[in-house]
Amino acid sequence: MTPNKPLNHCVQMNLPDDQLFEAARLAILENPENAPGEDVASSEEIDSFEMALIVGKKWGNGQTLRVRFLDGDPVVQEKVKKYAKEWSRYANIKFDFGNDQNAEIRISFRDPKGGYWSHVGTDNLGVSKHKATMNFQGFNRNTPEEEIARVVLHEFGHCIGISHEQASPTANIPWDKPAVYQYYMKKGWSAEMIDHNVLDKLEPQGVLFTSHDRLSIMQYPVPNELTIGDYEIGWNVTLSETDKRFIGQMYPLETEDVQDADIEESAIASVALGSDPHSPFTERAK
């Protein structure tokens, strides 16, 4: 793999700081498990802004998310539907595609911000109803099927509450940081975007995650030229076995006997804090 090949990466969208309190309120209304644990909520060492940051973003188990297309070719829309529903094979969460004006997930193929991106979990509730919450810039009938599958699976992973796999506290990727900044800045990314989407890892704080999954659909490709030594990760285009097991734990199917092997203790501020402390498996860094 070479960084001369375009890396069409997703940008994991964050809400503006002035919307975090409302997003936290909506997240807890949607799923009370998103509330911080009593030990965190009663801490005198954490202010209200930090409290809003650690509220979870998980939908309620069994939720049916309404999905509306704001634009796009009907043929391509059908492909998006097909691959999005792959998550529902392994998890108790479903998607209802239609024209509901109150849809939680709203998809564009030509949002002004461009690129591939999505908001994470219940953060979607904080986006104005007339705006997109997910974008597939440039998808058309000539877009390779593998590219559509890869991107749709990845972005819908975000919308059901999963973060990037390279952000896992166990993702010890030997980044060559100067090379990473140089490469992504040439693509128009700011240092803040690079830190948030590529380099930053989530801090361990007390919930659960799996060991780093190089095969996860939520993992960026890692070119050897952007690392120190001989280390690279290729393009992942399907759900990994760990993806399937994890999402089945996050949204358990009623008849599924899920195992919690390969799970380690951590906190994932962006997706997991505030989940049921008695659950054998809460969330993981993705």
Q: Hunting for tokens 């090379």 — which residue is that?
A: 179
Asked if residue 46 has pLDDT above 90, the reply is no
More confident of the two residues 39 and 15: 15
* pTM over the 0.85 mark: no
Distance between CA atoms of residues 158 and 146, nearest Å: 19
Which among 10, 125, 53, 119 is positioned nearest to 272, based on CA atoms? Answer: 53
More confident of the two residues 10 and 133: 133
Distance between CA atoms of residues 235 and 220, nearest Å: 7
Q: Which two tokens stand for residue 166?
A: 């390279």
Which among 230, 234, 214 is positioned nearest to 286, based on CA atoms? Answer: 214
Looking at residues 221-243, what average pLDDT do you find? 95
* Buried residues in 87-112 as b, exposed as e (16+ CB within 10 A): bbebbbbebebeeeeebbbbbbbebe
More confident of the two residues 36 and 207: 36
User: Domain segments of the chain: what residues?
Assistant: 10-266
pLDDT digits (tens, 9 = 90+) for 179-228: 999 999 998 889 998 998 899 887 666 444 678 999 999 999 999 999 99
pLDDT digits (tens, 9 = 90+) for 254-264: 864 444 434 44
Helix axes 145-159, 74-84, angle to 10 degrees: 60
pLDDT grade for 116, boundaries at 50, 70 and 90: very high
pLDDT digits (tens, 9 = 90+) for 61-87: 999 999 999 999 999 999 999 999 999
CATH of domain 10-266: 3.40.390.10
